[in-house]
Chains A and B, each alone.
Chain A
Amino acid sequence: MAETHRIEVTVNGLPRMLEVPPHHTLLDVLRDDLRLTGAKECCLVGECGACTVIVDGRTVDSCLVLAVEADGCEITTVEGLAQDGSLDPLQRAFLDEGAAQCGFCIPGQLMAAHALLAGNPHPTVAEIQEGLAGNLCRCGSYLQITDAVLATAAEGTRR
């Protein structure tokens, strides 16, 4: 068995101390150790985006990040979007626009969209499509996902 490393991470606002073997990815640790199964496992080569989480403010494919690399980082997963049981505006917009069909890609889409809006509160359609191109949706809900991001951006302006 491989030597493990002690890492300290903050996941969805909660500090966590974990023992991880070096070859386990952040996705493995989120899903198997922390039981946060919102981030999904699909391609494992950084192509599909189903495992997208936010590390220190930036989206990553968590299948390509070793958990030990995340030591000291702040991590946000889809489970961290809703606050006190009420949906984040982006989640609400995904629901209202019908962006989730089978739903499997949606946690990744949400994290990518969340980070996009944090950096660019008023993206154009082209910017959304480019910003979310790393998140495949085989149901083909791309237009609804784009609409949800646009609606969230507009909502943000009104508030």
Chain B
Amino acid sequence: MSATIIGTSPNRVGGIGRVTGSQQYVADLRLADVLEARLVTLDCARARIISIDASAALALPGVRLVMTAADLPQPVPRFGPQLEDRPVIAVGETKYHGDPVAIVAAETKDAADAAAALVRVEYEELPAVFTLAAALDPAAPLVQDPALRPGDRLASTNVLREHPIGWGDVDAAVADVVVEHTYTFPMVTHFAIEPHAYIAAPDGDGIAVWSTIQHPNWLQKVIAKVLGMPLAKVRVFAPDPGGGFGGKQHAKYEPLVALAAIRAGRPVRLVLSLEETFQAVRRASCEVRVRTGVNRDGALVFEDIAADYLIGAYADIADRVVGKGSYPAAGPYTVPNVRILARSVLSHTVPSTAFRGFGNPQVNWAVESNLDEAALAIGMDRLEIRLRNIAHRGDAFIPFDTPADGEWSQTVTRAAELIGWGSPLPPGRGRGIALGIKSGPTTGLSYSTVRLLGDGSVIVFAGTSDMGQGARTVFAQIAAQELGAPLDWVTVVMGDTAIVPYDQQTSASRSTVLMGNSVLMACRSIQAQLRTMAARLHAVDEALVGVDRGVVHLPDRDLSVIDVLKPGLGRLGGELTGNGEVRKDADPSHPLSGAPAFFEFNCTAIEAEVDRETGDVTIVRHVTVSDVGRALNPLQVRTQDEGAAIQGLGHTLMEHYIFDEVGRIRNLGAIDYRIPTSMDLPLDLVSETIENADGPGPYGSKGMSEGALLCVAAAVGAAVREAIRVPIRDLPLTPERVWRALQERETA
């Protein structure tokens, strides 16, 4: 067996379950004796809770539990991946529309619904802030109790943190032309088709928790801490999520459901509605002021970027999003002087969290759009200015960081070719091109175990969550490749912290690289054992034995793995076990606490047509080219790339939360929060890869699941701008917004 399975696209591992409906997502699981839970929320954002009367609810038949902050250990436990600021349930005050004040649990969904409606909450609405301007007003009410941030000079403001980064001297730099504009990016939500769901069940002296979580091991730690249990008594099951996109990274209501289960002494299940999911996760909106200094020859002199991200009422991972997302804001260019100041600004809105692109699309929209303005100002082609300044392989484009780890100009050139850059355009059309770069994971820890069973079949234990990206398939491909098993002889076990070794998290497009390397290492350990075995069986020097792609090479002949394994294991059988550990420790001297394992690089080019009467934007052609190092599974790479592109079209063209004056989301739910359907696609969507096998992952791969989303907005915006000759600096580019821009130009 020497044929390679790497670089091929076998059917998805787990695909049969997905096309037969037998795949069990959390909401599909049935536990005996389970209670159905519902959250009780208020019809406003910020309110002082005066009293909660559960007596009517508790009097209903079948209602077993109504739990509020008063029923919990005091002080009420708080948790959060960055700052432990989120109470498991609202304490004294709600901080955003949807912040739960009580949880009810009952024998049936009907009883739980009825009970939730009967919990009487007396409350007083309080002044609140929902916008950057309001939150930054010196007189604004504080979202967070300053006591949560002792010694922090910002504690008495709504600025959670500032993230300054830069090099050179922007103030001293002199450029021929300076272009300055302000751009905004809307508040959008993940809208995974699977709403978040949780089950918790007392399990002897411990607890079992099922969640739609992306990071089961992280959740395990949160639950253990909240409940005061050792990790070994907290078992987290994480069935494959039905879409994550970052929204399912961190704990939300799992601690609450776990506490409810313990109090009830029975399993408790909470399946959020889509509306509740909208109130649980979103992307930070952002306002970005960009000053770009450029010389007449096209050389970038400086980028001066101030980005205010409106995060929610609790930090969640939002501040890390701000810091990490804004860090490469100057783009994949060699810019001698850069100053970036990003701020995470708290507000009485849904806590924002990780969302594909991780804070990057917001600044990319602004900085790439402003680069077009700079090109226009000096009369240079927009592709040319990019190629003029792009960092080449090995360039320290961020001076204190990993140098450019690809020849990115290849990607840009290919995208330009595919869009027909420079060829004549029909009237009413425009083109745009934009570059996206994102820092990959800066820390990581991925353990894996691989078992080569006595018959040559393989079990891979890997704690990654397969939420659609296809990690299961890629790990199976690696094991099949290295150990010579057919793909359908490989089982990948995930999503059970009692069985699967620790993995830090599934995020930042890391899993192919970090867990992939871990699985590869585990397989290589087994290969070493096979070498020893073969040397012993055939009485040859171990140094002369090689193992490659499931073939054991002896000096005089080749054997299959099974021909070594069976006699090697002997009469009792057994198995060979290999462990992998990939550790990327934090580097305290680095601004992000670690240099990225790789950069995700993408170039998106768009041809768009605008209906000048209605403002409708039609994406005639959408080209995305990503530098992926090597596509281990080209079909999965393509579907991730296209999926990211289409998701990017959502926030570019149609998605945004709309708030009312008291901070309620007006378009709460699928009727008025619009995402792209099959009829909203580009007329032509082209996804290509650049593959130089220059990544740090197995076989030269890089992470790639976010790249194609990063610069969609800037590329579309540029195409629209060329089509209508009017810049629009606010997203989404709804027909009405485009129409209005045209109207304003005509009246100006």
A67 part of interface (Cβ distance < 8 Å): no
Residue A118 CB within 8 A of the other chain:
no
Contacts of A106 in B (CB 8 A): 18-19
Let me know if B669 is at the binding interface, CB within 8 A: yes
Segment from B364-372, B465-473, B577-585, B694-702 that makes contact with A: B465-473
B193 lies within 8 A of A137 (CB): yes
Q: Interface digits, B664-691 against A, CB 8 Å rule (1 contact, 0 not)? A: 0000011100011111010001000000
A82-B20, A87-B19 are contacts. A138–B11 as well, Cβ < 8 Å? no
Given A42, A128, A134, A139, which contacts B468 in the complex, CB threshold below 8 Å?
Answer: A139
Decide if B9 touches A129 in the complex (CB within 8 Å): no
CB distance from B730 to the nearest CB of A (A): 24
Contacting pair B678 A146 (CB below 8 A)? yes
Interface status of A29 (Cβ within 8 A of chain B): no
CA distance A35 to B28 in the complex (A): 8
- CB contacts (< 8 Å) of B23 on chain A: these are 103
A39 CB contacts on chain B under 8 angstroms: 21
B210 lies within 8 A of chain A by Cβ: no
**B273 contacts chain A at the CB level, 8 A cutoff:** yes
Most buried by A among B17, B23, B193, B676: B193
- Residues of A within 8 Å of B675, CB to CB, are 136, 138
Q: Answer whether residue B629 sits at the interface, using C-beta atoms and an 8 A cutoff.
A: no
Q: In the complex, which residue of chain B has the Cβ closest to the Cβ of A82?
A: B20
Would B20 and A78 count as touching, CB distance under 8 A? yes
Is B636 an interface residue, CB under 8 A from the partner? yes
Flag if B242 contacts A104 (CB, 8 Å): yes
User: Considering only CB atoms and an 8 Å cut-off, how many residues of chain A contact the other chain?
Assistant: 58
Establish whether residues A43 and B20, one from each chain, have CB atoms under 8 Å apart when the complex forms: no
Chain B, range 439-470, C-beta contacts under 8 Å to A: 467-470
Q: Tell me the smallest distance from the CB of A26 to a CB of chain B, in Å.
A: 15
Residues of B within 8 A of A10 (CB): none
* Contact A96 B273, CB 8 Å, known A91-B20, A129-B681: no
**Once the chains bind, are B193 and A101 in contact (CB under 8 Å)?**
no
How far, in angstroms, from A89 to B640 measured CA to CA in the complex?
24
A153 contacts the other chain (Cβ, under 8 Å)? Answer: no
Taken residue by residue from 632 to 646, chain B's Cβ proximity to chain A (1 for < 8 Å, 0 otherwise) reads as: 000110111011111
- Nearest residue in A to B61 (C-beta to C-beta)? A1
B21→A104 contact, CB < 8 A: no
* A102 vs B19: C-alpha distance when bound (angstroms): 11
Q: Is the CB of B192 within 8 A of A102?
A: yes
The residues of B that contact A98 with a CB separation of less than 8 Å are 9, 11-12, 635-636, 638-639
Taking CB as reference atom, which chain B residue is nearest A131? B678
- CB-CB under 8 A from B22, the residues of chain A are 38, 79
**Known contacts A47-B671, A136-B675: A101-B469 contact under CB 8 Å:** yes
Chain B 189-224: CB-based contact to A (< 8 A → 1; otherwise 0): 011111100000000000000000000000000000
**B12 lies within 8 A of A95 (CB):** yes
- Tell me how far the C-beta of A54 lies from the nearest C-beta in chain B, rounded to whole angstroms: 13
> Known: A140-B642, A140-B644. Is A77-B678 also a contact (CB below 8 A)?
no
Q: Does B241 contact A (CB under 8 A)?
A: yes
Q: Are B21 and A38 in contact (CB under 8 A)?
A: yes
**In chain A between 32 and 69, which residues have their CB closer than 8 angstroms to a CB of chain B?**
32, 35-45, 47-48, 50
Contact B671 A45 (CB under 8 A): yes
A47 to B192, CA, bound (A): 14
Interface residue? B271 (CB, 8 A):
yes
Q: Is the CB of B273 within 8 A of A44?
A: yes
A144 to B671 alpha-carbon distance, docked (Å): 26
Chain A residues at the B interface, C-beta cutoff of 8 Å: 21, 23, 28, 31-32, 35-45, 47-48, 50, 77-79, 81-82, 87, 91-92, 94-96, 98, 100-107, 110, 128-130, 132-146
Q: Which residues of B contact A (CB under 8 A)?
A: 9, 11-12, 14-25, 27-28, 30, 109-110, 190-195, 240-245, 271, 273-274, 467-470, 635-636, 638-640, 642-647, 669-671, 675-679, 681, 685
In the A-B complex, the 8 residue pairs with the smallest Cβ-Cβ separation, listed nearest first, are A38-B21, A104-B242, A103-B18, A102-B468, A140-B643, A140-B646, A101-B468, A47-B670
The 15 sampled A-B contact pairs (Cβ below 8 Å) are A39-B21, A43-B274, A44-B274, A79-B21, A94-B19, A95-B15, A102-B243, A104-B243, A128-B678, A132-B678, A138-B191, A138-B647, A138-B675, A139-B243, A143-B685
